A and B are shown apart, each in its own frame.
Chain A
Amino acid sequence: MSPAADYDDRPWLDPDAEPFIKVQSVSKHFGDFTAVDSVDLDIYKGELFCLLGGSGCGKTTLLRMLAGFETPSSGSIIIDGVNMNDVPPYERPVNMMFQSYALFPHMNVESNVGYGLRRDGIAKAEIEQRVEEMLAMVELSQFRKRKPHQLSGGQKQRVALARALIKQPKMLLLDEPLAALDKRLRVQTQYELMNIQDRLGVTFVVVTHDQEEAMTLSTRIAVMDVGRLQQIGTPTEIYEFPGSRLVANFIGNANMFEGRVIENGTDHVIVECKDPTCNFYIDHGLSIPEGSKVWVSLRPEKIRISKQAAAESGTNCIKGMVNDIGYLGGTSTYRVLVGDKHIVEVTSPNLNRPKDGNPPIDWDEEVCLGWDASSSVVLTK
């Protein structure tokens, strides 16, 4: 694969690529409250970018600033080379899909979808044709004369999507696009969204609080908390190399151990942990002085659980007792008590069917937990 082709899917790695959307030290204050705190963000053309965070983290405010419903208190937003600070929403090359869908209740599906084109003074015949195409794409052609209140949740969502996409915006903003759908429909719609985005090549910016949704959908994720950006990266980067305890805890589950760096080599670090007593040998270097306080994050699925008794807790190995088992069919989650009060969560695939109906590892059993040197991550904040 040539490097150029490589950048096609990952434009953010290309040092020459010009970001499509530039958010430059943008802040937003509501009275004393700071909703967004000096956020810098580059989004590239064709990305499916997720803003992820809990409620009140500022992700929706940031999205509304991109749409033009809020103006930044400071900083600037540049879309396709144009500073958007003084551009009202109705003149931005951007469309939004609202969380509540905001379909006009007094118009039928057709009129809703064609609304944006009518505002641009496009000829009636062309509007009809484009509405037709859009409805065909979201598979709603037979519902064109229905009013929004006669549609199901999933149908409304597709009308909202069609309405937002028909103007061929440079960027589509989606505010919790799947939150109002039930679980099954959500998964299905997730893939539909990805297909549509892939086909049209429109840059999507999605706001969500659902980390699973963000992981499946996005090319890159920006994790936000209390108005600040915590980390930006691909789903893999965010999951495997979280930059802070906050990110590690927010995306998936993580076992966190507090310790001190006792050895800092060029290709490895050793962290000594007091409670529970254990040493972590980690195979990546760290630019941090010996003796510093750090945290080690270890994902539940990266821990091996076995009944083979280890001599003692040592390096990358720890003894414990099974406190609780959650059997999920494909996998089991073990909550293992190590030391006096520390609980370590371990997820393990159920590879073999138990012969006599007894689980391979039972409650209150002594177990040994082990992991590879590449499995754990050292966090400094």
Chain B
Amino acid sequence: MGCFQFGGFDEMSESAERSLQGRLLHRLGYLLQRNWRSLVLFIPFFWLLLFFLAPFFIVLKISLAEAVIASPPFTPMIDWVDEGIMHIRVVIDNYAYLWEDDLYAKTYLNSLKIASISTILCLLVGYPMAYAIVRAKHTTKHVLLMLVILPFWTSFLLRVYAWMGLLADQGTINNLLIAIGVIDEPLRMLYTPFAVYVGIVYTYVPFMILPLYANMEKLDWTLLEAAADLGAKPMTTFFTVTLPMTFPGIIAGSLLVFIPATGEYVIPDLLGGGNVLMIGRILYNEFNANIDWPVASAVAIALLLLLVLPMMLYQHIQMKQNEAE
């Protein structure tokens, strides 16, 4: 903490000439001086509160309303009927509807399935890459890391469109394969689950590599030598030492891939067409096509619970384990 101190408040009040504004500024400076730590934390948290928590409650509120043809297209939560009586209307029909119509359950499950498989694929691709980058020479390492981050410099949408061009029936890959005589007629790739997996893995693999890299960078390599010295073959060393030591990186990377992949809208829409139904698509349809904001909100809240609850459970178990030790 700085040792700079403002004058006492008594002295301040004595100087009558000092303007109110000056005194306020003085006081603010004093507060800043003493509480800069809390302030540094307060600003970003206030931001999150405003733009994350507040919209969350708005969505939650809408999900408990009924759809009406009006603007906005849902019933208000609080009505004032005459004589100042407050009328609160909470409707859980939307959630019941999600439960009854198995389209939603199927779509949720499909989203979770696609996200899970994509996460595993990202792990299978990203883990060896992160490992190779960590073990590369110092100069090569930075170039490789740069290459991992490089795609972010181009628009995400542009990159997905590029994949459409690559995977289409008359696209680059099919034309190339036909030209060299591997196939006679184009392979159907675009608008299939395959294209969706390609798109998701391609987009999210850096989110897997970077946390894994950060984790592996701290790995003590003499541990691997110690394992080998004690008779562990390379494969055994990997499963008994490397994998457990990099587990936090695997969890971090998997969450960073799995969570956004579950709610992914653009990739299944552009690369999967109408053939791959994911929850993002349903949400879009309810909101824009059906103009049923309450159901759309219920879909969003249910998705949030689906993702957040298992994570909270996992963290809780982890904390318990740490305490036990």
Contacts and interface: CB of A to CB of B under 8 A. Distances in A.
A294 B227 CA distance: 51
Contact of A90 (B222, B223, B231): B231
Contact of A98 (B226, B241, B325): B226
Contact of B222 (A89, A91, A100, A116): A100
B230 interface: yes
Contacts of A105: 223, 245
Interface string A184-219: 000000000000000000000000000000000000
A119 B222 contact: no
B223 A102 contact: yes
Of B230, B240, B244, which is in contact with the most chain A CB atoms at under 10 Å from its CB? B230
Nearest to A120: B231
A134 interface: no
Nearest to A166: B230
A102 B222 contact: yes
B135 to A, nearest CB: 15
B233 interface: yes
| Interface size classification for chain A | 20 to 34
Interface string A85-115: 0001111001110101011111000000001
B228 A89 contact: yes
B235 to A, nearest CB: 11
Interface string B213-235: 00000001011011111111100
A102 B226 contact: yes
B230 A163 contact: yes
Contacts of A120: 231
Contacts of B226: 96, 98, 102-104
Given A106-B244, A147-B325, A90 B220 contact: no
B236 interface: yes
A69 interface: yes
A184 B142 CA distance: 45
A167 interface: yes
A79 interface: no
A67 B229 contact: yes
A328 B191 CA distance: 87
Interface in A100-143: 100, 102-106, 115-116, 119-120
Contact of B230 (A68, A69, A116): A116
B230 A115 contact: yes
Contact of A167 (B223, B230, B245): B230
A115 B227 contact: yes
B232 A102 contact: no
A287 B259 CA distance: 83
A92 to B, nearest CB: 8
Contacts of B223: 102, 104-105
A44 B220 CA distance: 33
Given A102-B222, A102-B223, A96 B232 contact: no
A67 B229 CA distance: 7
B229 A90 contact: yes
Nearest to B224: A102
Interface string A162-186: 0110010000000000000000000
Contacts of A89: 225, 228-229
A104 B222 CA distance: 10
B220 A119 contact: no
Given A90-B228, A95-B229, 14 more contacts: A67-B229, A68-B228, A68-B229, A69-B225, A89-B225, A90-B229, A90-B231, A90-B233, A95-B230, A102-B225, A115-B227, A119-B230, A119-B231, A147-B325
Instruction: Rank and list the top 9 A-B pairs by shortest CB-CB distance, nearest first.
Output: A116-B230, A102-B226, A119-B231, A89-B228, A102-B222, A106-B244, A90-B228, A96-B229, A90-B231
